[in-house]
A and B are shown apart, each in its own frame.
Chain A
Amino acid sequence: MARLGMVIDTKKCVGCMDCVVACKTENNVPEGYNKDWIVQETKGAFPTLTTEIRSERCNHCDNPPCVSCCPTGASHVHELGKVVLVTKNECIGCKACVASCPYDARFIHPDGYADKCTFCIHRVEKGLDPACVSVCPTHCMYFGDLDDPNSQVSRLLASRKNHSLMPEVGTQPRIFYLR
């Protein structure tokens, strides 16, 4: 079974937010909410400052606390690519999954269920890339099977320095950022 993940080249990302707009359009994300977003992180001391621009979203962790804490099984790991999803008519809106996510990637949809990035599973099932990946004007986002050593994502991770977000939390995120 594939283990889908994403690799984002922070050297190419310009923070244009096309990925954010594409996600909102493709997934009908309600006004005022975001399933993906842009973070700009600046570190160091002048004049040796470094800035990293990242497109962030649910990390579809290998060890997802949002799935284990769900009392109804609405939050689950989908058989296609081990993508973490929510079945909206099984969700009671208890918000345990929202509190359990160290990335604060989830939110409560105005209709009452927990919602988040789905890696555009409806597109992936048709063999397409997620909307954010397909629209990126700088082609900084890559999507594929992390378990396949010949996939583009695996080769990029093998050849470039990279990091994930908060690895110390132990959730084993599947989105990686190339330095």
Chain B
Amino acid sequence: MTTRTPFDIPAHASTDDPRVTLDEQLGVFEPIPPYPPRTEREAEFYTLRDGEMFLNMGPQHPSTHGVLRVVLKIDGEKVVDLDPVLGYLHRGVEKLCENADYHQAICYTDPLEYISSLFCEWSPVMAFEKLLDVQVPRRAEYIRVLSGELNRIASHALFIGWFALDLGGLTPILWSFIERDEIVEMLAALTGQRMLFNYFRIGGVNGDLNHEFMSRLGTWMSKATHQINSNQALLNENEIFVRRARGLGVIDTATALQMCMTGPNLRATGVPFDIRRAHPYSIYPELDFDIPSRTEGDCLARYLLRMDEVKQSLRIIDQCLHRMPDGPVMAKLPRLIRPRPGRAYAAIEGPRGQYATYAISDGTDQPYRMRIHDPSFIHLQSVGLLTPGNLIADTMAIMASLDPIMGGVDK
């Protein structure tokens, strides 16, 4: 077996260079870094054995759900190894938050996972409330749960569409967008924004429920179960889809825990771990709902589990509407917030897993340190573990089934 290390290849010439003629072969994107390997793992990855080659995927690839670049090491049609390259969407949200005051920091967290923004706001808001020792009014908590569960359904609907799209089916995304659009319009009526809501405030929410939201919600709830069931029938009974997804990207419980997975991806391996029950927050202890879990741990299980979660979310919304108390939606707080020095950690269960914020206050009106933990980042890591041995086309299926959002991965 011969080994070849391609690190001595010079960085390719620019097209602006007059010496470059059109006859010369110019690679569009050279996957091999022009510098010597920095770590053991990088040296191992960028060393080709017989019959292997690199294939660059992304950063502009439709199935990477954003701007993710993956360098695949392939042997024929089989993926031997892969190296995700992040940072194309890095905005430095943590740094921006540390240079904004507590209220401003919330709106920086919205675009992290732009299809489930309410959850991205929720965990920093909870951490700041812990720093301040604020009691949130019960009506505000109910509104948070209500809008949060709606957002969860919208996010799962989009997941189902995307997942089917990455497996080659075009119809489901058109169907799931019907659901998602209705919820998004509903939340727009409540919050004033379609995607980046900026709705949760320290000590409550920005506005009370209004008539348009309630009437839209009522209309949707009356047909939601029926629509979701018919959407499910589209995929659950589709033999091509089921045979493609079953047994693909299997992860077992011990490995999932080692990989720090949370949320549906962990529950699909048989652990009924949900922070709403494992470490209760808000009003979830008062609500009656189940934590669905599955034991297979493959792509199909992850998909089916999300369908089950949508049903539980509908149950929660129904209970919230029936038990919604009266009262204020904001706690009494000064405009200028300066918590006493201290540290707080708050975690919530989002559609993808655990969103958490670790905030340190130094007594000024800006957070001293604000660490944002995002589940997409953690789950994308395990693509490298699940994909080797599968076909190139399965890379997209596995990635889509883990449901990472690049806004959250790149912070």
Genuine A/B complex:
no
The residues of B with any CB-CB pair to A shorter than 8 Å are: none
Residues of A at under 8 Å CB distance from B? none
